[in-house]
């Protein structure tokens, strides 16, 4: 490895505190030097700012585990075809990122930093470019999909049934990214919520996030007949199809979508016992319960445990209840595990399950990149570099 991961992490630690400044500079630099790429990005860039940095943090954190990174980068490279990202864009994006890092790191930026970042960017870019180039010529960069049904599963959750315009091969547990012409260029990931069907349709469950760019449009405005774009299937949370181990699936919120697809497949195969724990913030937040009850009634090898505190409880109570339910499972050493839900679900549940004997190699979940941690206390050099307000004391107050 020609670059030093420790140097990259140190640079990111400084940049993390100035994420807003970093991203503003990055996009200003990118668009000033490459005006042509502006059209590839959504009009409103705020969320992408966090998303791109979160992805970079994710990558830097895994540079020492190349076997885990390879699959992620290949999928990201294939997926970037839908944005119109071409090989010549990669050095341009890298140059702007490095210029932005240099800007926010100030005097702490060294020749060593520049060298490590340039080399890391080259390796990461090449992996993405190679994966995109290896996609068979007849595989589209995205699929057109018609919305054939929209069902309101809860006040803030819609189940959309989509009919892709050509075969869309995927494995239960994967997710897709979705874009509506009502909000151009804004792509968001959604789990595929069913095992593959003969008629080729597939479901996604969308919860409306207040003030979100895409989810309110999908829940409130999209109607049957609308056409959406879907990117290629992605995802690392795919089960070992040959395993006969009992499966434990733990889901929070719309994490049920991913679990539902996997459970449908496992029930169809008829070979394994499945326990599902479904957590929600409150009873009223559980949705799609008719489907849950029907699946349990149809399959003796499926057990579902619903965990939710009384309506109106604090979020912490929901988490505590789910954790208590997990502790009651007892020995988990023989189980394959699937985790799906908000970013904080996987780390906390993994810790509990490892405590119950689960094999970390058999715990599967997608990397849900967190947004950067801006609440970390400043280190001494960062405090020194941080812009501070000048304290103002009113003379009359002093008197």
Ligand X SMILES: Cc1cc2nc3c(=O)[nH]c(=O)nc-3n(C[C@H](O)[C@H](O)[C@H](O)COP(=O)(O)OP(=O)(O)OC[C@H]3O[C@@H](n4cnc5c(N)ncnc54)[C@H](O)[C@@H]3O)c2cc1C
Pick the binder of ligand HEM from 23, 116, 161, 177 (CB under 6 A): 177
Interaction partner, residue 249 (ligand HEM, ligand X, none; CB < 5-8 Å by kind): none
**Shortest-Cβ-distance residue relative to ligand X:** 212
Torsion sign across C-alpha atoms 209, 211, 215, 221: positive
101 near ligand HEM, judged by CB under 6 A? no
Interaction partner, residue 55 (ligand HEM, ligand X, none; CB < 5-8 Å by kind): ligand HEM
Identify any residues that bridge with 154 across adjacent strands, giving them in sequence order.
157
56, 12 Cβ separation under 8 angstroms: yes
Which of the stretches 13-21, 161-169, 213-221, 312-320 binds ligand X when contact is defined by CB under 6 A? 213-221
Which of the stretches 44-52, 60-68, 253-261, 275-283 binds ligand HEM when contact is defined by CB under 6 A? 44-52
Pick the binder of ligand HEM from 19, 98, 128, 202 (CB under 6 A): 128
338 near ligand X, judged by CB under 6 A? no
Cα–Cα distance for residue pair 76/124, rounded to 1 Å: 10
Torsion of CA 145, 149, 154, 155, to 10 degrees: 90
Cα–Cα distance for residue pair 6/63, rounded to 1 Å: 10
Pick the binder of ligand X from 124, 127, 162, 206 (CB under 6 A): 206
Interaction partner, residue 222 (ligand HEM, ligand X, none; CB < 5-8 Å by kind): none
Query: How many helices (DSSP H) and strands (DSSP E) are in the chain?
Result: 13, 11
Interaction partner, residue 159 (ligand HEM, ligand X, none; CB < 5-8 Å by kind): none
Q: Pull the structure tokens for residue 38.
A: 């502006």
Interaction partner, residue 206 (ligand HEM, ligand X, none; CB < 5-8 Å by kind): ligand X
Residue among 89 and 335 whose Cβ is closer to ligand HEM: 89
**Least distance to ligand HEM, CB of residue 148, Å:** 24
Q: Using alpha carbons, select from 59, 68, 31, 69 the residue that is nearest to residue 369.
A: 59
C-alpha 346 chain-centroid distance:
12
Residue among 99 and 171 whose Cβ is closer to ligand X: 171
Pick the binder of ligand HEM from 7, 10, 13, 55 (CB under 6 A): 55
Q: Using alpha carbons, select from 346, 319, 339 the residue that is nearest to residue 256.
A: 339
179, 186 Cβ separation under 8 angstroms: yes
3-state DSSP assignment of residue 113 = helix
23 near ligand X, judged by CB under 6 A? no
8 near ligand X, judged by CB under 6 A? no
Which residues are CB-contacts of 114 (< 8 A; sequence separation ≥ 6)?
Answer: 98, 102
Interaction partner, residue 93 (ligand HEM, ligand X, none; CB < 5-8 Å by kind): ligand HEM
96 near ligand X, judged by CB under 6 A? no
Interaction partner, residue 128 (ligand X, ligand HEM, none; CB < 5-8 Å by kind): ligand HEM
Which residues are CB-contacts of 8 (< 8 A; sequence separation ≥ 6)?
Answer: 60, 63, 116, 117, 120
Identify any residues that bridge with 242 across adjacent strands, giving them in sequence order.
none
48 near ligand HEM, judged by CB under 6 A? yes
C-alpha 362 chain-centroid distance:
20
Which residues are CB-contacts of 96 (< 8 A; sequence separation ≥ 6)?
Answer: 26, 27, 29, 30, 33, 34
Residue among 104 and 154 whose Cβ is closer to ligand X: 154
Which H or E run contains 276?
strand 274-279
The owner of tokens 């929600």 is 280
Which of the stretches 10-18, 185-193, 331-339, 382-390 binds ligand X when contact is defined by CB under 6 A? 185-193
Residue 308 phi, psi dihedral angles, 5° rounding: -155, 135
**Least distance to ligand HEM, CB of residue 394, Å:** 45
- How many residues of this chain interact with ligand HEM, rule: CB under 6 A? 23
Footprint of ligand X (CB under 6 A): 47, 175, 188-191, 205-207, 209, 211-215, 254, 257, 366, 368
Footprint of ligand HEM (CB under 6 A): 37, 40-42, 48, 51-52, 55, 59, 76, 80, 83, 85, 89-90, 93, 124-125, 128, 177, 186-187, 189
């Amino acid at each position: 490895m020609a670059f030093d991961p420790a140097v990259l992490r140190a640079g990111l630690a400084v940049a993390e505190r100035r994420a807003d400044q970093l991203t503003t500079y990055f996009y200003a630099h990118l668009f000033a030097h490459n005006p042509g790429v502006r059209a590839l990005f959504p009009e409103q860039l705020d969320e992408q700012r966090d998303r791109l940095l979160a992805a970079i943090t994710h990558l830097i954190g895994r540079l020492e585990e190349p076997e885990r990174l390879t699959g992620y980068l290949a999928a990201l490279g294939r997926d970037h075809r839908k944005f119109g990202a071409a090989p010549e864009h990669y050095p341009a994006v890298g140059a702007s990122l490095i210029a932005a890092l240099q800007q926010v790191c100030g005097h702490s930026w060294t020749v060593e930093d520049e060298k490590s970042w340039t080399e890391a960017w080259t390796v990461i870019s090449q992996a993405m470019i190679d994966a995109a180039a290896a996609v068979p010529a007849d595989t589209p960069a995205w699929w057109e999909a018609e919305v054939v049904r929209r069902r309101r599963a809860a006040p803030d959750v819609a189940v959309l049934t989509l009919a892709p315009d050509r075969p869309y091969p995927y494995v239960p547990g994967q997710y897709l990214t979705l874009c509506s012409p009502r909000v151009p260029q804004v792509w968001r990931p959604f789990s595929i919520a069913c095992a593959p069907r003969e008629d080729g349709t597939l479901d996604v469950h969308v919860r409306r996030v207040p003030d979100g760019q895409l989810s309110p449009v999908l829940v409130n405005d999209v109607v049957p007949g609308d056409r959406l774009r879907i990117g290629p299937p992605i995802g690392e949370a795919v089960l070992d199809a040959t395993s006969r181990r009992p499966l434990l699936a733990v889901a929070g919120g719309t994490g049920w979508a991913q679990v539902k697809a996997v459970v449908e497949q496992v029930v169809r195969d008829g070979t394994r016992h499945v326990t599902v724990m479904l957590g929600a913030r409150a009873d009223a937040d559980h949705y799609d319960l008719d489907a849950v009850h029907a699946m349990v009634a149809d399959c003796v090898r499926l057990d579902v445990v619903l965990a939710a505190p009384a309506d109106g409880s604090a979020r912490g109570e929901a988490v505590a209840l789910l954790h208590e339910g997990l502790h009651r499972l007892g020995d988990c050493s023989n189980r394959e595990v699937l985790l799906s839900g908000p970013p904080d679900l996987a780390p906390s549940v993994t810790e509990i399950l490892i405590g119950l004997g689960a094999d970390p190699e058999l715990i599967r979940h997608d990397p849900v990149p967190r947004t950067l941690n801006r609440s970390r206390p400043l280190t001494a050099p960062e405090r020194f570099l941080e812009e501070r307000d000048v304290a103002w004391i009113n003379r009359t107050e002093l008197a």
